[in-house]
């Protein structure tokens, strides 16, 4: 497993999931996978606001703390499973609601629009944070794990079937 192999090579291996550690037994299998430190709702990286849509910490509020953890470690593998890009997509979780963006890109107001706005806010905040000094040479790989679920409609046409999206920065 990658965390274990990297730990053997001297990396600090850290995992973050803003929900409770018992969800999917992450508190049990994360250490087995090789994570030396794990942060959860019940053992937080930082106390930040909780989301309306999911019983856990809001991702965008964790970004400054994740960036600080990256800056504090020369060699670190930091695995972060985010929550806000998961159903339900509550517009109350948006810090800066941009009500104009969805019509500009052809999305109707509602669940799909809220999902897009939450992801956009996350990427905008992350992008602004990683361009600050202290992260030169840092590699970031953002990987989706499945097509987002929706309760109010079928949005399959918005996603590439059988492809896992990723971005390597």
Q: What local confidence, expressed as pLDDT, does residue 116 receive?
A: 92
Who wins on pLDDT, 162 or 14? 14
Residues 49-58: tens digit of each pLDDT:
898 888 889 9
> What is the CA 153 to chain-centroid distance, rounded?
24
Q: Is 80 exceeded by the pLDDT of residue 20?
A: yes
Tokens 């430190």 -> residue: 37
Nearest partner of 138 among 85, 83, 69, 84, judged by Cα: 69
Q: Is 90 exceeded by the pLDDT of residue 162?
A: no
Contact yes or no for 57/66 (Cβ under 8 A): no
Contact yes or no for 138/70 (Cβ under 8 A): yes
Tokens 């991702």 -> residue: 59
Residues 6+ apart with CB under 8 A from 90: 51, 52, 53, 114
**CA–CA distances in Å: residue 139 to residues 8, 136, 142, 144:** 19, 9, 10, 17
Query: Which own/partner contact pairs does 41-47 have at CB distance under 8 Å and 24+ positions apart?
Result: 45/16, 45/69
Measured between alpha carbons, how far is 169 from 24 in angstroms, rounded to an integer? 29
Q: Is 90 exceeded by the pLDDT of residue 38?
A: yes
pLDDT, mean of residues 140-161: 86
Q: Is 90 exceeded by the pLDDT of residue 31?
A: yes
Give percent above pLDDT 70 in the chain: 100
Residues 6+ apart with CB under 8 A from 65: 45, 46, 48
Residues 105-115: tens digit of each pLDDT:
999 989 999 99
Q: What local confidence, expressed as pLDDT, does residue 29 receive?
A: 95
What does pTM read for this prediction?
A: 0.90
Q: Is 90 exceeded by the pLDDT of residue 146?
A: no
pLDDT, mean of residues 78-99: 86
């Amino acid at each position: 497993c990658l965390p274990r192999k990297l730990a053997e090579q001297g990396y600090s291996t850290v995992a973050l999931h803003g929900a409770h550690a018992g969800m999917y037994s992450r508190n049990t299998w994360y250490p087995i996978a090789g994570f030396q430190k794990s942060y959860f709702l019940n053992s937080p990286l930082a106390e930040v606001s909780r989301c309306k849509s999911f019983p856990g910490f809001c991702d965008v509020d964790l970004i400054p703390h994740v960036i600080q953890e990256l800056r504090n470690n020369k060699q670190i593998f930091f695995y972060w499973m985010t929550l806000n890009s998961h159903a339900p997509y509550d517009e109350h979780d948006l810090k800066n609601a941009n009500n104009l963006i969805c019509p500009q890109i052809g999305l109707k107001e509602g669940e799909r629009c809220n999902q897009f706005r939450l992801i956009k806010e996350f990427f905008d905040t992350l992008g602004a944070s990683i361009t600050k000094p202290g992260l030169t040479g840092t590699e970031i790989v953002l990987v989706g794990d499945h097509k987002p679920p929706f309760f109010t409609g079928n949005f399959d046409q918005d996603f590439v079937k059988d492809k896992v999206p990723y971005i390597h920065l």
